[in-house]
Amino acid sequence: MSNKEIIVALDFDSPMAALKLIDQLDPDLCRIKVGKELFTASGPSFVQDIISRKFDVFLDLKFHDIPNTVANSVKVAADLGVWMVNVHTSGGARMMESAKEALISYGVESPLLVGVTVLTSLSDKDLMLIGIERNVQEQVASLALLAKKSGLDGVVCSAEETKTLRSMLPRDFCLVTPGIRRAEDPRNDQKRTVGPREAILNGSDYLVVGRPITLADSPASVLSELNLAIG
């Protein structure tokens, strides 16, 4: 598989539990996402361990700080050898530009730098409660355009927004979609979910899948099912 669209989210607080899952997966059929919980529990050396097992790693730490701190953080991530790293687009244009500039020296070895727009757990009402008057789709579109203008390689967004974003942005600007669920999967804390095939048709490039795989009796079988659904 030349383009591995599925990114398996390691939603664990234990490196042993994460490795138990990884041992059941094929690096030719998926990529791996390491988020705050697992990274806090296991640290950078664990990320390097996953990479040594031939998996591409999306380091999902959602950096959001002053420009210099974020720039230095993405540079450290690049030194680890990760395939993708992300920042919060709400950190502003200068922060995103600084992060991208920090990766220039890595050339073709630079990780993809993507921006988080609006978390998939947030609704229009949630945005209003934090003082944002735009609805979710308007806010996502605004932040995605800012990310593109700031030089990022793509954004993280719900598949509900990908169709609109794909019509607004170049095809090489990648869209990473969490909240992927099959019809039989519970939504959990994700408020904006969609199936794998629909997500790809809407314009998503990469699909982040967590609990449907990590909690499955046979993670490899679910991964295979998702890849078949994508087609």
pLDDT at 14: 92
Which value, in Å, is the radius of gyration of the alpha carbons in the chain? 17
In the three-class reduction of DSSP (H, G, I as helix; E, B as strand; rest coil), residue 184 is classed as coil
- What are the C-alpha distances in Å from 25 to residues 32, 117, 197, 214, 220? 10, 29, 21, 11, 6
Rounded Cα distance, 7 and 25, in Å: 11
- Sorted by sequence, the CB contacts under 8 Å of residue 161 that are 6+ apart come out as 117, 136, 137, 140, 141, 144
pLDDT at 11: 87
| Amino acid (one-letter) located at 21 | L
Fold topology of 6-230 = TIM Barrel (3.20.20)
Are the CB atoms for 80 and 44 separated by under 8 Å? yes
| pLDDT tens digits in sequence order for the chain, 231 residues long | 446 899 999 989 999 999 999 999 999 999 999 999 999 999 999 999 999 999 999 999 999 999 999 999 999 999 999 999 999 999 999 999 999 999 999 999 999 999 999 987 889 999 999 999 999 999 999 999 999 999 999 999 887 889 999 999 999 999 999 888 766 655 555 445 578 888 899 899 999 999 999 999 999 999 999 999 887
Question: 20, 36, 62, 148: which is the annotated catalytic residue?
Answer: 62
H or E element in which residue 209 lies = strand 206-209
Rounded Cα distance, 184 and 5, in Å: 21
- DSSP 8-state code for residue 180: B
**Would residue 62 show up in a list of annotated catalytic residues for this protein?**
yes
Rounded Cα distance, 183 and 55, in Å: 28
